[in-house]
Amino acid sequence: MKKRLLVVAALMAVGVMAVPASAEGEKIGIAMPTQSLERWNRDGSYLKEQFEAAGYEAELVYSDNEVDQQVNDIQNLISDGVNMLVISAIDGEALNTVMDEAAEAGIPVIAYDRLIMHDAVSYYVSFDNYTVGTLQGQFVVDTLDLDNAGDATYNIEFTAGDPADNNAGYFFNGAFDVLKPYIDAGTLVVVSGQTDFDTVATAQWDTQTALERMQNILASYYADGTQLDVALCSNDSTALGVTQAIESDYAGSNSVLITGQDGDEANLANIVDGKQTMTVYKAVANEAVVTLDLAEAILNGDTVDESLIEASAWDFDCAYDTESYETSEGNKCPSFLLVPTVVTANNLQEALVDPGYYTMDDDGYLHPTA
Ligand code: GAL
C-alpha cells in the first residue's frame, strides 16, 4: 500500500498522470449481496473507494438478497467488460451459470467474504470464519466461568445464519464445538433441544425471522419463568431480533448474555446500553485492502501466495491458507484470512474508535466512519 502511494506521489511530482499505469483502463466489478444488512454497505464503499484511489474504474452492485438478481447483476458486469470480479455471494451454490460465463470470458473472480462453490473462483478473501464462532463460544465459557461452574447449570439457545451462506456453518460449528463439552457435561442446557444447524438457522440472516423464532422458543420453553442465560447468535442482524424478542417476551428478569458479529450500529448501541454482551468485529476496511492488493497482483500476473503478505505494508494480521476451503470436492481454494476481534462495552474505544473505524459521541454511542 505504502509503496503504491509513494509511486503515485512520485508520478504526481514529475507531472505525470497520477494513475498507476497497470490500473489504467482496468475495470473492477464488485457484487455485494444486499444493502439491508449493514456491513455490506461498509464493504461496498470501502472496496469502491480503495479500487478508485488506486486508479481503477469500479462498478458496485447490490442485489437485494435476490439470487436471480445477483446472477443478472454479475452478467451485466461481465457484459460491461470488467477485468476482474469481486463477489460476495447471496447463495454460494447458485452462481454456477454466471461463474461459467466469467470463466469463458477469462475474468478472474475473487470470492469476497463468502465462498462461491465453483472452481472459477481464483482466490478467497475473508476472515477466519470458524474462529469467529470459537470466539463467541469461548466468550460464553469465560464470562460464565464454565470450567469452575461446579453444580451450576446455565440455559442457552442458539441462533445461526443463512444456510445458503457458506460462512454460516463455520460460525455455528466454531461456537458449538467450544460449547459442546459443557452441553455434554450438563453445565449448559439447551432447553428447547434445538442444536442442529438447520433447525437454528435463519434464512437471509433476517432480523424479523430471528425475532419470531426466539419469541416461539420463549413462549414454548421459558413462559413459566425458566431462566435463559445465553443467546448465542451468529451475527448482529440475528442478535438484534433475538434481543428484541427477549425485551418484549421474556418472563425472566436476569440479563441474558447475547453474542453477535459485525459491529452494526444498532448492536453497538445495544452493547453500550447493556442489552447485547459482545460482538465479533471484522475490520472490513482491511478486508478491502487485501482484496485490492490481491486483485492488483492477479491483474499484473504476479505470483500470488504468502509473498503477497510479506511484500505488503499491511499493519494487520492475515494468513495465507491453502487447506481450509474448497470450491468443489478436493479443489482447494487459496485463501487470505484476516483475524476477527472480540468487542465488548470495555474495549469499544481501543478496538473500534482508535483505529478509525467508528466515531464515538459524547453519550458513548458509535457511528461507522464508512
Ligand atoms: C456473513 C458475514 C457476516 C455477516 C453475515 C450477514 O457471510 O461473514 O459478517 O454479515 O454474512 O450479512
Helical (H) or strand (E) element with 4: helix 2-13
Q: Measure 199 CA to ligand 1 centroid, in angstroms.
A: 19
* Distance (Å) from CA 84 to ligand 1 centroid: 22
What is the atom index within ligand 1 of the atom nearest the CA of 237?
6
Ligand 1 centre from 285 Cα, in Å?
15
- Closest ligand 1 atom, residue 171 Cα: 8
pLDDT digits (tens, 9 = 90+) for 29-78: 999 999 999 999 999 999 999 999 999 999 999 999 999 999 999 999 99
Helix, strand or coil, per DSSP, at residue 280: strand
Residue 23 scores a pLDDT above 70: yes
CB 125 within 8 Å of CB 99:
no
Per-residue confidence band for 150, with pLDDT thresholds at 50, 70 and 90: very high
- Residues forming a β-bridge with 8: none
Among protein residues, the one whose CA lies closest to atom 12 of ligand 1 = 37
The two most distant CA atoms of the chain are separated, in Å, by: 76
Mean pLDDT of the chain, nearest integer? 94
As for ligand 1, residues whose beta carbon falls within 6 Å of it are 37, 39, 113-114, 161, 165, 167, 205, 235, 237, 261-262, 282
The predicted structure's pLDDT at residue 324: 96
Number of Cβ within a 10 Å radius of residue 194: 15
Taking CA atoms, 146 is separated from 134, 181, 219, in Å, by 15, 10, 27
Distance CA(235)–CA(247), nearest Å, equals: 18
pLDDT at 9: 42
User: In the structure grid, which three cell numbers stand for residue 163, read together?
Assistant: 444456510
Please tell me the distance from the alpha carbon of residue 370 to that of residue 271, in angstroms, as a whole number. Answer: 20
Q: Which mutation among 38, 167, 171, 236 tests ligand 1's pocket best, with the greatest number of atoms within 8 A of CB?
A: 167
d(CA 330, CA 324) in angstroms, rounded, equals: 11
CA atoms within 13 A on the CB side of 278: 26
In tens, the pLDDT along 319-342 reads 999 999 999 999 999 999 999 999
- The atom number, within ligand 1, closest to the CA of 37 reads 12
CA–CA separation, 56 and 295 (whole Å): 11
What CA–CA distance (Å, rounded) separates 348 from 366? Answer: 9
Residue length of the chain? 370
Mutating to test ligand 1, I would choose from 65, 261, 335 the residue with most ligand atoms within 8 A of its C-beta, which is: 261
Question: Residue 305: which residues within 8 A CB-CB, separation 6 or more?
Answer: 320, 334
pLDDT average, residue stretch 16-29: 70
Following CA atoms 282, 287, 289, 292 in sequence, which dihedral angle do they give, to the nearest 10 degrees?
Answer: -170
* Long-range pairs, 4-11, Cβ under 8 A, ≥24: 4/54, 4/296, 8/55
The pLDDT confidence band at residue 7, using thresholds 50, 70 and 90, is very low
- pLDDT band of residue 21 (cuts 50, 70, 90) is low
Section 301-308 average pLDDT? 95
User: How far is ligand 1, taken at its centre, from the CA of residue 224, in Å?
Assistant: 34
235 CA distance to ligand 1 middle (Å): 7
Average pLDDT over residues 212-225: 98
DSSP structure class, residue 22? G
* Complete domains list, the chain, with CATH: 2-127+283-338 (3.40.50.2300), 129-261 (3.40.50.2300)
Q: How confident is the model at residue 20 (pLDDT cuts 50, 70, 90)?
A: low
